[in-house]
Amino acid sequence: MSSSVKLFRDQSYQELKEQCLQQGRLFEDPEFPASDESLYYDSSAKGKVEWKRPKDLCEDPHLLVDGISSHDFHQGKLGNCWFVAACSCLALRKSLWQQVIPDSKEQEWDPKNPKKYAGIFRFRFWHFGAWTEVVVDDLLPTEDGELIYCRSNVRNEFWSALLEKAYAKLAGSYQALDGGSAAEALVDFTGAVAESISLAEGKYGEVISEQMKLFEDLMKVHKRGGFISCFVSESAGRPNEAETEMGLIVGHAYSVTAITKLRLGERLLFSFKAEKLFMIRLRNPWGKKEWHGAWSDSSEEWKKVSDSERKNLGLTVENDGEFWMTFEDWCKNFTDVDICRTVNTSYFSLHKTWEKEMMFGAIPTALLSPLSSQYLFDVKKAEDKVLVSLEQEDRRKYKKEGKGDNITIGFEILKVEDNRRYRLHKLTVQERVATSPYSNTRSVFLRRALQRGRYILIPTTFIPGVPTAFILRLYTDVPSKLRELKADRPELTCWSLLCGYPRRVTQIKVHSAEGLQKQDGSEGADPYVLIKCENQSRRSAVQRGTTSPVFNTQVIFYRKDIDSPVTIQVWSSNLLRDVFLGQAVLAASPGEPRQQRRLRLRGRGGGEAAELPGHISITALSSDDLAEL
């Protein structure tokens, strides 16, 4: 077993199995016993349950029968359609289910060597940032000789029931799985990042352009190994588990098993005259009750499609829980979709490779409290698409304490000074460039294109005073050097006492310039700014071919000599030698105006230096309290 895989409750599959074989007994799990405490977290819950092993339920039990299929299993009495929908998605990717069910052949019953069977199985889940192995015995809850929870279509196949038991053990009990999100289960099965989209709020059923963007995005997710599930949310007059006029079950998770473009029409000699349909296929985890609308199994629309095309699509006219819809009908009839993206971080791939950074932390009781988590990262390209996933700990284990509900979480991203090294103390002096959705789902996700620069990400809870542990995952095209900021100000050391400790903090924002001198008879210049303070300096990126550049550059200086001014110089980049275009000199004291100012550029020297063409717009903030900015 890989050293990167953790053991849940320190239970080693190999060691426990070897002990059972040596002692000639079947494994009974002391960490998840065959009793009501494993079934229920609510002590008032009751049930007449008998725990039986697979050999007591059939003559020839198997973990898998002819591999795994999305049609293998059905939901039982537990309200975990979301888990079963996730299993349907998992079954579509052999490499992924083999990761969840490691060495499935080694775990199989061997009728030729029954003494090698020890009644112990193992499964692996991506649990709060690490692959975690969970072992279970094969005692399963039954009533009248039948499994009461998840079960296979094939009577002697038990992978789904045993996987469900391992997942219940991770959650604390079977009852803890009553209600949940398919996206959460898929993250646990794959380590993917989850994104939830409200089809209703986004008006995807009405705005065709947005609908087509979503279709292309979901098709790309599906082709690249991601997973999609959806549901119809509960509302007034439409209670949970009610059936809509078109046969959909309210509050019920459906797995998406295919997305495609279907062409209708006839092939001509040099062309294909056809109608193009955007189609999506779904599966009800109950294995029955399907969509009744257009393109349902036996609808008239399918007569437009050839037999060979129907065969390619896998159309089966039977009540097996799987059905097709047009994407437009899907957007109009479903209200929510959960997307799990398997973000590619492999360098040996034909697809885009993302750079991944991951941090663990805890959201404190108040935004920007002394304990608040702040994470700094850099965008190195002129523009980079950034993916962020913030996932709180799985709180189902707290259900016995009445605290098992997800906390509403989100995060803010602020653009900060290019040279910031210490924590923020006021949000109001920084530009907020992105705010994630705030959601009581286990994770929130954001995609955003960011300009070159330095940023701070702050995870928060929607309601102050509710802390939670979390994982932060950040994906960029170029390494971002994600790190947590812990220091509030420069460290006070013996050396700083001898050489001087900062007495003032100053933040300079250079917004733009205008009216700069043209260079070499051209229509513009290639300007950049150089900001100097004491022995420190920071340079902006070059803005090409303009005399009215927009810089949006900001820096922060911790100043020892408060009488030494801040100098902002404008230069034009040149192949042989850069050209000085002018400068502004600031005392940058706490008493100076804090609003944006427009300053005349001057030559080198003091405040009486000759005026030069152009102005520069800046904001300067200074404080003798080093923890103010």
Catalytic residue among 20, 81, 87, 533: 81
Is 61 in the same domain as 124?
yes
- Residue 23: the pLDDT is 95
Mean pLDDT of all residues in 91-115: 89
Catalytic residue among 20, 222, 284, 333: 284
Mean pLDDT of all residues in 295-316: 78
629 in any annotated domain: no
Mean pLDDT, the chain, whole residue set: 88
Of the listed ranges 28-37, 160-169, 489-498, 590-599, the one predicted with least confidence: 489-498
Nearest to 273 by CA among 282, 281, 264: 264
Q: How far apart are CA 347 and CA 350, in angstroms?
A: 9
User: Got the DSSP string for 328-351?
Assistant: HHHHHH--EEEEEE-----SS-SS
Decide if pLDDT at 557 tops 50. yes
In tens, the pLDDT along 396-405 reads 988 888 888 8
Residues 528/569, Cβ–Cβ less than 8 Å? no
Phi, psi of 498 (to 5 degrees): -80, -40
1 in any annotated domain: no
Is 175 in the same domain as 39?
yes
Is 199 in the same domain as 158?
no
Is 168 in the same domain as 45?
yes
- Residue 462: the pLDDT is 78
How sure is the predictor about 268, in pLDDT bands with cuts at 50, 70 and 90? very low
Q: How far apart are CA 80 and CA 181, in angstroms?
A: 9
Is 221 in the same domain as 285?
yes
How sure is the predictor about 239, in pLDDT bands with cuts at 50, 70 and 90? confident
Domain boundary among 174, 189, 204: 189
Per the model's pLDDT, the better-predicted residue between 617 and 437 turns out to be 617
Q: Tokens 């069977």 — which residue?
A: 117
Catalytic residue among 252, 333, 406, 615: 252
Task: Residue 381: count other Cβ atoms within 10 Å of its Cβ.
Answer: 12
Q: How far apart are CA 173 and CA 489, in angstroms?
A: 47
Is 181 in the same domain as 238?
no
Beta bridge partners of 6: 132
Mean pLDDT of all residues in 227-256: 87
- Residue 269: the pLDDT is 46
- Residue 273: the pLDDT is 54
| 333 part of the active site | no
- Residue 2: the pLDDT is 47
| Total number of domains in the chain | 4
490 in any annotated domain: no
In tens, the pLDDT along 122-167 reads 999 999 999 999 999 999 999 999 999 988 888 999 999 999 999 9
Mean pLDDT of all residues in 244-272: 78
In tens, the pLDDT along 29-51 reads 999 999 999 999 887 767 789 99
217 in any annotated domain: yes
* Sequence-separated (6 or more) residues with CB below 8 Å from residue 84: 73, 74, 75, 150, 160, 253, 285
In tens, the pLDDT along 199-222 reads 988 899 999 999 999 999 999 988
Of the listed ranges 1-5, 139-143, 247-251, the one predicted with least confidence: 1-5
347 in any annotated domain: no
- Residue 320: the pLDDT is 74
What is the side-by-side strand order in the sheet with 579-586? 536-539, 527-533, 566-572, 579-586, 597-602, 611-623, 504-514, 550-559
- Residue 598: the pLDDT is 96
Is 442 in the same domain as 563?
no
Token representation of residue 558: 């911790």
Q: How far apart are CA 141 and CA 615, in angstroms?
A: 78
Of the listed ranges 181-195, 354-368, 476-490, the one predicted with least confidence: 354-368
| 127 part of the active site | no
| 252 part of the active site | yes
Is 230 in the same domain as 266?
yes
CATH of the domain at 392: 2.60.120.380
345 in any annotated domain: no
- Residue 1: the pLDDT is 41
Maximum distance among all Cα pairs of the chain, rounded to whole angstroms: 100
Domain boundary among 421, 455, 484: 484
Residues 8/121, Cβ–Cβ less than 8 Å? no
Mean pLDDT of all residues in 236-264: 86
114-138 in b/e burial notation, b at 16+ Cβ within 10 A? eeebbbbbbbbbbbbbebbbbbbbb
Mean pLDDT of all residues in 254-264: 86
Strand ranges for 37-192 from DSSP E: 50-52, 73-74, 120-127, 130-137, 140-143, 146-147, 151-152
In percent, how much of the chain has pLDDT > 70? 92
How sure is the predictor about 110, in pLDDT bands with cuts at 50, 70 and 90? confident
Q: Which domain holds residue 574?
A: 500-623
CATH of the domain at 251: 3.90.70.10
Q: Tokens 């999506």 — which residue?
A: 280
